[in-house]
A and B are shown apart, each in its own frame.
Chain A
Amino acid sequence: MIARSSMSPSSARRMRIGGLLRKESLQILRDPSSIAIAFVLPVVLLLIFGYGISLDARKVPTALVIESGSSQTASFAASFAQSPYFDLRPTATRQAAEAALISGDVSAVIVLRSDFSRRLYTPGGAPIQLIVNGSDANTARLMTGYVEGAWVAWLEQLSREEGVSLTPPIVVEPRIWFNAAVRSRDFLVPGLIAIIMTLIGALLTSLVIAREWERGTMEALLVTPVSTSELLLAKLVPYFVLGMGGMILSVVMAILLFDVPFRGSFLALTAASSLFLLTALGMGLLISTVSKNQFVAGQIAIIVTFLPAFILSGFIFDIQSMPTVVQWITHVIAARYFVTILQTSFLAGDLWAVIVPNALALALMAVFFLGITKRKTLKRLE
């Protein structure tokens, strides 16, 4: 006590923060649950999501009905069989193929009618009928695109074989930038990191501060000479370190386990991740300060952070196609900005035109959440 009176205010503050930091770190080390949330949860979630979520339709079971065979239908079947997208199942009749479509055994049916070969060179041309199961609209659209691609390839082959010119007037040359192989995992896994870190950041702090309120130790802390900012800082730093640990783990898994290319710089990624983690931890702090109860805090953390991050961040569903009102809402979802940064730095590289504005938005949100938390904590004192 005597020593303290002779201390300068700044060194006293350093000591207070140092003491608080030690207390928080000890608490983390003694209760393994936060370490589990920071390191085990990301690994488990990334494994489940990374292997469970994919939009790449490969080897789609497809019934092929050839009502009367000829050399042309054979070349058609051979051309389609080469495509990696179809698992062709020759089916005798149209009825059988349609029954298989209804029962879900096949996702699409291709029918070459009995007059196919005869009508090939008539003015109207021969129809190739494609019936897709539209229940899953996305897969149905992808399938239609694949069939169209295979159809064009077959036409070219046919024109070579038969020695006639069938070149279409215009040909599209698609160049898919950043992901030439169009692997959905390459964009899903970076997005998943944002979703998982949203959940973990919020869960880490929301449960912890709520516990202090619940046990009454928060009041005890607030009557010490520690200021609110110092208290929040001491709460933030250890969980920030834990969260960054989880983040690094996720990035390493993405690169080594899921083979996602990383074209940006780790420096930019670290800076953006720090800002995002501050936002997520700030959200957790706010949730716990408002709810003051571990049960409610955990519930809110899952509902407010996880679900919106999954649906409204643009990680899987395209934001531009959402209704206008919903698009506005996405602007308050922190994960939205982080998903954009992650997808860009993994697939495209350090594109500052993307990274800087999104990082600024994250910084703004971090300041907002931490500021509100500080005010709410002060209010609780009165």
Chain B
Amino acid sequence: MWQKIRALVVKELLAVWKDPRSRFVLIGPPIIQLLVFGYAATYDLVDVPIAFYVEDSGGDARDLVARFAGSPIFRPTANLERQSDIARVIDSREVSLVLHIGQNFSRDLAVSQPARVQLIVDGRNSNTALILTGYANTIVRDFNLEWLRQKGERLPPASLVVRSWFNPNLQSRWFIVPGIVALLSLVVTLVVTALSVARERELGTFDQLLVTPLSTAQILLGKSLAPLLIGLVEGTVIVAAAVLWFGVPFLGSLALLYVGLILFLLAVIGVGLTISSLVRTQQQAILGAFLFLVPAVILSGFATPIANMSPAVQPITLINPMRYFLVIVRGLFIQGMSAELVAQQLWPLALIAVVSLTIAGRLFRSRLS
């Protein structure tokens, strides 16, 4: 029996590999996505253009400007002469923020603190605006401490000591790149599975498969094992690229990662086979896969955290296998997650896999009989 299944798996793998279109699906998108996501998908800010509008000629104003100009976050691009220039450079997106130091700055600093400085931020991307405001606050806080220390004045009674665990330099890449392992295994495995039966239907070879000595269960097993192998290879390549190319640390157990990956792939294969059993052509299969992929990726926490989503949407993410696998991958990569914590994510994955595979099996049987 195993021999027969093995023959079917080999045939499936060959069918995917020999067809130039399917081969493209296996190789093209993963490479493009890995590079694009790895390099472009980042929330980290560098070289943000900043303009200064300084109406005060004092040394402290110069010092404050120098602190902003010297920060790797900001790239000074202009010194403005008039108040009206602020609107011009912000509106046209020439700069993302303007630091305005008024003419009373030195006097207020010497006589009637606090001296106020204005920070005008382009809020068209509110996330960038918030992060930039945070950076500006940090620069001013450092300036304040230094100033108080130099003048021998009393420092604030409590200071903030910030430490960041797991990702001390707060690099977005450490968050995004492990996520790609989940994303690409999902995309490739789902498309391959959804297409496999649809292709046979379109070519009329599915009927031939049915008259072979293989039972329906064996056919389904063969149809599931091939995408599982493909997904495992794809996942392995991306894990390797994440560690070796992008330099993301992998601190957890590799064995646990593969347990998670296999359960995740099985859940995805169940969905793929379900799509496969419902459609008649390859095009419908692709559309069906797309209709599953978009919400699955968006509602997984891949790009933005689940905790930020509308309360009405959050429960929906509970049936999304990618949600659990993302926690596992990210946890194992940079947090060195313990087996106990991984297990909390594994059982829902296993449950989803059982349910989706059962539905696929039922649908196949009912469509065949």
Contact = CB atoms under 8 A, between A and B. Distances in A.
Interface string A359-379: 000000000000000000000
Contact of B109 (A132, A170, A183, A348): A170
B41 interface: yes
Contact of A302 (B116, B163, B290): B290
Nearest to B105: A170
A258 B287 CA distance: 27
B107 interface: no
Contacts of B168: 134
A322 B141 CA distance: 28
Interface stretch (B7-15, B208-216, B233-241, B305-313): B305-313
Contact of A137 (B90, B123, B170, B282): B170
Nearest to A184: B126
Interface stretch (B42-50, B220-228, B260-268, B351-359): B42-50
Interface stretch (B272-280, B294-302, B360-368): B294-302
Contacts of A314: 125
A58 B308 contact: yes
A180 to B, nearest CB: 7
Given A169-B144, A318-B125, A318-B128, A174 B309 contact: no
Contacts of B175: 135-138
Interface stretch (A45-53, A245-253, A267-275): A45-53
A109 B88 CA distance: 42
B39 A51 contact: no
A350 to B, nearest CB: 10
B36 A311 contact: yes
B246 interface: no
A137 B167 contact: yes
Given A128-B159, A148-B138, A311-B37, A171 B116 contact: yes
B29 to A, nearest CB: 5
A57 B171 CA distance: 18
Interface in B318-335: 327, 330-331, 334-335
B129 interface: yes
B307 A140 contact: no
A282 interface: no
Nearest to A147: B160
Contact of B39 (A53, A298, A303, A323): A323
A104 B140 contact: no
Interface string B156-167: 111111111111
Contacts of A137: 43-44, 167, 170-172, 174-175
B133 A104 contact: no
Interface residues of A, number: 97
Given A125-B157, A142-B130, A134 B92 contact: no
Interface residues of B, number: 103
B39 A295 contact: no
Interface string B85-115: 0001011110010000000000001000111
A347 interface: yes
A302 B308 CA distance: 27
B41 A179 contact: no
A125 B159 contact: yes
A127 B161 contact: yes
A31 B254 CA distance: 50
Given A132-B164, A348-B124, A353 B170 contact: no
Contacts of B309: 51-54
A209 interface: no
B148 interface: yes
Contacts of A129: 161, 163
A297 B327 CA distance: 34
Nearest to A191: B125
A317 B160 contact: no
Nearest to B293: A302
B27 interface: no
Given A51-B310, A353-B91, A144 B162 contact: yes
Interface in B118-152: 118-131, 133-134, 136-138, 140-141, 143-144, 147-148
B286 interface: yes
Contact of B166 (A134, A323, A344, A354): A134
A179 B91 CA distance: 13
Contact of A51 (B21, B126, B283, B313): B313
B124 A187 contact: yes
Contacts of A320: 45, 47-49, 96
B124 A128 contact: no
Contacts of B166: 133-135
Nearest to A330: B40
A48 B163 CA distance: 35
A175 interface: yes
B3 interface: no
Nearest to A158: B157
B165 A131 contact: yes
Contact of A169 (B32, B148, B327): B148
B164 to A, nearest CB: 4
B304 interface: yes
Contact of B158 (A51, A133, A151, A174): A151
Contacts of A154: 158
A103 B341 contact: yes
Contacts of B174: 135, 137
A140 B123 contact: no
A149 B91 CA distance: 27
Nearest to B126: A182
B209 to A, nearest CB: 21
B157 A121 contact: yes
11 contacts: A60-B307, A130-B160, A134-B167, A135-B167, A135-B175, A148-B160, A172-B119, A173-B118, A183-B126, A314-B125, A318-B45
What 6 pairs across the A-B complex have the smallest Cβ distances? A145-B134, A134-B167, A179-B123, A134-B164, A138-B43, A176-B123
Given A53-B303, A104-B341, A299-B25, 10 more contacts: A60-B307, A135-B175, A154-B158, A173-B117, A176-B126, A187-B125, A316-B304, A318-B43, A318-B125, A343-B124
Interface of A: 45, 48-49, 51-58, 60, 101-104, 107, 116, 120-121, 123-142, 144-145, 147-149, 151, 154-155, 158, 166-180, 182-184, 186-187, 294-296, 298-299, 302-303, 307-308, 311-312, 314, 316-318, 320-323, 326, 340, 343-344, 347-348, 351, 353-354
Interface of B: 21, 24-25, 28-29, 32-33, 36-37, 39-49, 64, 88, 90-93, 96, 109, 113-131, 133-134, 136-138, 140-141, 143-144, 147-148, 154-168, 170-172, 174-175, 282-283, 286-287, 290, 294-295, 298-299, 303-305, 307-310, 312-313, 327, 330-331, 334-335, 338, 341
